[in-house]
Chains A and B, each alone.
Chain A
């Protein structure tokens, strides 16, 4: 199978590319960020998904399957540019896919789609609408991209569309929302709150994405692995020190003293849990994780030398 990965230079996407290559598929990549020295056999086109050159890749190389990993997810990244990439890029990818004979599109979205708020349930199922966008408008573009990808299911019935809502990842790349949060020696928490966090080890996440590309499962799926873990426990088990700070003080401190400048709504994500039910995906693909939550945290602690 010829697979094109959009956003291939991302940490997780590279692992997906190498995994697919190792399993005998022909892998092409597309990214506006460079991937210097990709492994032999992985051809990378350095262009923006919304540019003409990107459509040329679809036209001339005619991939069977396209994996969309070119969304910007970081809570710190904001603004119009992010929205343009996430919504505009997703639209362009589906257009090119339909116009150039792609059979299967995998949209790799995030479980943050469901939103974090005090009154949202644990274990979201795929039929739930997003929650708490009001308190975190910066998330709207990711929600829009997810919904746009999902409505390809009825707009383009001949295209096989897979929408994945993937939990946070943790692993050797030390990149991603959770990893950035754990970057420092001391990790600020909101005093009196301790949400459950759900994460997959990177190798498991890459395997889940690979499986969905190979199996061509149609539909919307939450992707998760081991049990969720309280944030404070994640901080402590990875060898950091938890620093619970009263919320008003934390709000005032954001963007100073080396703390990230998070939009106010992002605090909801360290107050309340987003936990998803991944049964449907496991049933459809036979996926099961190899690294459980305890081992993942232990490995991460070793990796980051704490």
Chain B
């Protein structure tokens, strides 16, 4: 149990309105966070050896939206961003992702996503969490983003625009982030949609070694300065798309920076 203690300490320092039973108004539970971050913390520090740059760009409190690229056959990127907000910030913050709908349909997935604040990506959820001054994590590439193949790993596919309308409506600063390394952890050569259908997920990534278990590839994440946009969220598509392109461009730059940071780290450290 002693191993848990630093994590428990961090969970206790989260500035969320937990009740006497350790549950917040959304059902986020301290008990589950301690277990979850025990695992994520190990993956973050030991397995993926994540290097985070610029975490201080994330506001200490108040609403904010982390917006990033997808990297890797499934949400390793999301999990590591959540871990970095917990381990690198002072006070720690709980990043709340907008999960794919299928997760809440699956047993276990439903329970753990609900208790750790990773709710189904519904506009109602996103808006309510921001109005409540939470830290939202958004990947505007969506599931098509995690489906990127290894050879496409440094590309960005089309961004949705919903996040930008929401940020304008709720006056939320956007913290862009670039994440690299996930595609080396899960080097997808193809996606099996048939297998996915069978087990109730959108697709199953297939790697050269068959199974999609992640390799211990080092990851790097760079956070940029908050971007704020003025508006109501009801602007025309062309205006919104212009803003989205700005964010996308910034994320592209951060991915480049993370890529060269990771490259020099690999050379210096002689890792792998």
Tell me, rounded to whole Å, the shortest Cβ–Cβ distance linking A60 to chain B: 48
Tell me, rounded to whole Å, the shortest Cβ–Cβ distance linking A127 to chain B: 11
User: Are A191 and B107 neighbours in the complex by a CB distance under 8 Å?
Assistant: yes
Interface size on A, residues (CB 8 A): 26
Contacting residues of chain B (24-57) with chain A, CB-CB under 8 angstroms = 24-27, 29
User: Are B23 and A118 neighbours in the complex by a CB distance under 8 Å?
Assistant: no
* B102 nearest in chain A by CB position: A118
Residues on the B chain within 8 Å of A272, using CB: 104, 110
Contact of B25 among A119, A190, A227 (CB under 8 A): A227
User: Are A192 and B21 neighbours in the complex by a CB distance under 8 Å?
Assistant: no
**Chain B CB within 8 A of A101 CB:** no
User: Are A194 and B111 neighbours in the complex by a CB distance under 8 Å?
Assistant: yes
Contact of A233 among B23, B104, B119, B125 (CB under 8 A): B23
User: Are B115 and A119 neighbours in the complex by a CB distance under 8 Å?
Assistant: no
Residues on the B chain within 8 Å of A193, using CB: 107, 110-111
User: Are A119 and B101 neighbours in the complex by a CB distance under 8 Å?
Assistant: yes
Residues on the B chain within 8 Å of A191, using CB: 107
Residues on the A chain within 8 Å of B19, using CB: 227, 292-294
User: Are B27 and A230 neighbours in the complex by a CB distance under 8 Å?
Assistant: yes
Complex: A293 Cα to B109 Cα, angstroms: 26
Residues on the A chain within 8 Å of B122, using CB: 119, 121
Residues on the B chain within 8 Å of A293, using CB: 19, 21
A171-209 Cβ-contact flags toward B at 8 Å (1 or 0): 000000000000000000011111110000000000000
B99-120 Cβ-contact flags toward A at 8 Å (1 or 0): 0010011111111001100011
Complex: A193 Cα to B20 Cα, angstroms: 22
* B19 nearest in chain A by CB position: A227
User: Are B120 and A119 neighbours in the complex by a CB distance under 8 Å?
Assistant: yes
The count of A-to-B residue pairs whose CB atoms sit within 8 angstroms is: 70
- Most chain A beta-carbon contacts within 10 A, residue among B105, B119, B125: B105
Residues on the B chain within 8 Å of A246, using CB: 107
Tell me, rounded to whole Å, the shortest Cβ–Cβ distance linking B201 to chain A: 14
Complex: A57 Cα to B66 Cα, angstroms: 62
- Most chain A beta-carbon contacts within 10 A, residue among B26, B27, B115, B125: B27
User: Are B120 and A118 neighbours in the complex by a CB distance under 8 Å?
Assistant: yes
Contacting residues of chain A (244-300) with chain B, CB-CB under 8 angstroms = 246-247, 271-273, 292-294
- Most chain A beta-carbon contacts within 10 A, residue among B107, B108, B115: B107
**Chain A CB within 8 A of B124 CB:** yes
Q: A228-B27, A230-B27, A233-B23 are in contact. Are A122 and B125 (CB under 8 A)?
A: yes
Could you show 21 A-B contacts with beta carbons less than 8 Å apart? A118-B101, A118-B105, A118-B110, A118-B120, A119-B120, A121-B122, A122-B27, A122-B119, A190-B107, A193-B107, A193-B110, A193-B111, A196-B26, A227-B23, A227-B25, A230-B27, A233-B23, A273-B27, A293-B19, A293-B21, A294-B21
B residues near A, CB below 8 A? 19-21, 23-27, 29, 101, 104-111, 114-115, 119-120, 122, 124-125, 128
A residues near B, CB below 8 A? 118-119, 121-123, 190-196, 227-230, 233, 237, 246-247, 271-273, 292-294
Q: A119-B122, A233-B23, A273-B114 are in contact. List 18 more A-B contacts (CB 8 A).
A: A119-B101, A119-B104, A121-B122, A121-B128, A122-B27, A122-B119, A122-B128, A190-B107, A192-B106, A194-B110, A227-B23, A228-B25, A229-B21, A229-B27, A230-B23, A237-B21, A272-B110, A292-B19
